[in-house]
Amino acid sequence: MNQPGARSCPAVLVTAPASGQGKTTVTAALARAWRNRGLRVQAFKTGPDFIDPTILECATGRPVYQLDLWMGGEDDCRRRLQAAAGAADLIVIEGVMGLFDGNPSSADLAVRFGVPILAVIDASAMAQTFGAIVHGLDQFRDGVRLAGVIANRTGSAGHGDFLAESMPTGIPLWGALRRDQAVELPSRHLGLVLASELEDLDSRLERAAGQLEPLLPAELASGDFPPPLEPEPAAATHLDGVRIAVARDAAFCFVYRANLDLLEALGAELAFFSPLVDTDLPADTDAVYLPGGYPELHAAALSANESLKASLRGFHARGRPIVAECGGMLWLLERLQPLDEPASPMVGLVAGEAEMQPRLTALGMQAFDLPGGTLRGHTFHHARLEKAPEASGHATNPRGRGAAEAVFRDGALTASFLHWYFPSNPEATARLFRG
């Protein structure tokens, strides 16, 4: 143990040279293969992501949380990893983008907690150059060393042999996975398709796990997971007696599990509802939380739900809190223009309209100063806002460039393209929902 109170647990961080290499498929397959061996596997996702965790939850049968050294902070990572080390037999972490991409990066997280690294490399169009990429990943930064490599999307057994021959000395090739449409996970404009939309996801995971099973090492090196630098704050009751209606359906499906956990830890009662089918807010609602998702794919149905739209307008008129993130804000606008459909009238609580774009319009970490302090999160969307009201303020990007999202506040309503990470500031979160 490197620090007093640290817990040791076998662990691996699955990374790649870039996005699109197959990290999620391999991470989920590894988790399912180890689970099939009878192990309790705890998965995490590095960085902001709502979709990959749904795949990993299906693979492990356990809740999946984010690990982000900036958005959540080091202590948030410490608490989650130490708790997992005490409750699981093995920890598997899916990285974000490429190994060294971002600040902080997946490499930063692995080095900080001493987690061994497994690289997934799409080898579909290469042979001996594969070894050069492995060498570069292994040697680029002090403190980063690969525990192994998986070659993904290979074409034949002979192809796999070329790759094995190119490997640097001392780095094992766990195996070469063939191209297989039966295990590949489909994508759309914001990433992979959600687990709930894949009826055959379980069979895909079992097939992939079966391919990986013979490749798994007998044992993994352990990471040391220290306790938080600061003691966990005493249980707060800032939201005692507050009933929060949370939108959750195919249109509003982007929410951090940690956000919901925190609201409950603060004393709130959560009541889930579907803007696609429910005609009114849940009974005795004190506040409303509208997470992001895909309202553009369901614009006609959301527009047609006149009863619920009127209920929300009345709720706001009574001065009750509404917190809307990205897709939630799009629903509150006057109009939403999908890519291939006519524009649809929305709720009309936020002036302006949005037009969906074929390409990404904003990406990056964000922070915004609220009455209860600074709340952190991220932005990632394909919408462009038109005829918007004057913003109450703009978020800041820790890199000092890129997106600086507007935040709109009207009474107790707070709306933005921002996806908030509530654990970054519980007090600021509580004040949002207290109004």
- For residue 326, indicate whether it is catalytic: yes
- Exposure string of 109-147, with b = 16+ CB inside 10 Å and e = fewer, is bbbbbbbbbbbbbbbeebeeebbebbbebbeeeeebebb
Catalytic residue among 58, 77, 253, 326: 326
In 136-255, where do the E strands start and end?
146-154, 173-178, 187-188, 191-192, 222-225, 243-247
Q: How many CB atoms lie within 10 A of CB 167?
A: 17
Asked if residues 346 and 332 have their Cβ atoms less than 8 Å apart, the reply is yes
Alpha-carbon span 226 to 83, nearest angstrom: 10
DSSP state of 166: H
- Evaluate the CA torsion angle 302, 306, 311, 316 in order and state its sign: positive
Q: How far is CA 87 from CA 20, 41, 76, 143, in A?
A: 31, 9, 17, 28
Q: How many CA atoms lie within 13 A of 41 on its CB side?
A: 26
Residues, the chain: 435
Which element (helix H / strand E) includes 7? strand 7-15
Asked if residues 435 and 371 have their Cβ atoms less than 8 Å apart, the reply is no
Asked if residues 280 and 307 have their Cβ atoms less than 8 Å apart, the reply is yes
β-strands 322-325, 413-416: how paired? parallel
Q: How many CB atoms lie within 10 A of CB 222?
A: 17
Catalytic residues: 326
